[in-house]
Amino acid sequence: MPPFISGTEKVKMYTMKVTNMTEMEQRIKMRYAFAMSSFGRMFKPNNIVCEMRSLCREWSENINEIPPAKDLYQVDRYFLELWKKSHVDRTNRK
């Protein structure tokens, strides 16, 4: 054994659940549908614009972002604030 390893050190072991691609794709699709349903409730499906779809796609791919879990009002408010923020950011870039 090398001199810097005594064999009595404490080590932490980490395990990660391996998620195969189809599971991840399914999760992203479900998150996309969840976000789109919020915009559908707020704006009616025929009034959803491409930028909203794009925001939903970007949000769905960021698995670390968790929406509120209290009620649909909070969920819709969350997505409305995301929309306002992204819409203002895009408007300011022009």
What is the mean pLDDT of the segment spanning 58-74?
90
Domain assignment of residue 24, yes or no? no
pLDDT for 14-55, tens place per residue? Answer: 666 666 678 889 999 999 999 999 999 999 999 999 999 999
Domain assignment of residue 51, yes or no? yes
Rounded to whole angstroms, how far apart are CA atoms 32 and 79?
12
Residue 1: predicted pLDDT: 47
Domain assignment of residue 12, yes or no? no
Evaluate if residue 65 carries a pLDDT over 80. Answer: yes
Domain that holds residue 56: 35-93
Evaluate if residue 72 carries a pLDDT over 80. Answer: yes
Buried b / exposed e over 31-48, threshold 16 CB at 10 Å, is: bbeebbbbbeeeeeeeee
Domain assignment of residue 5, yes or no? no
**What's the number of domains the chain is made of?**
1
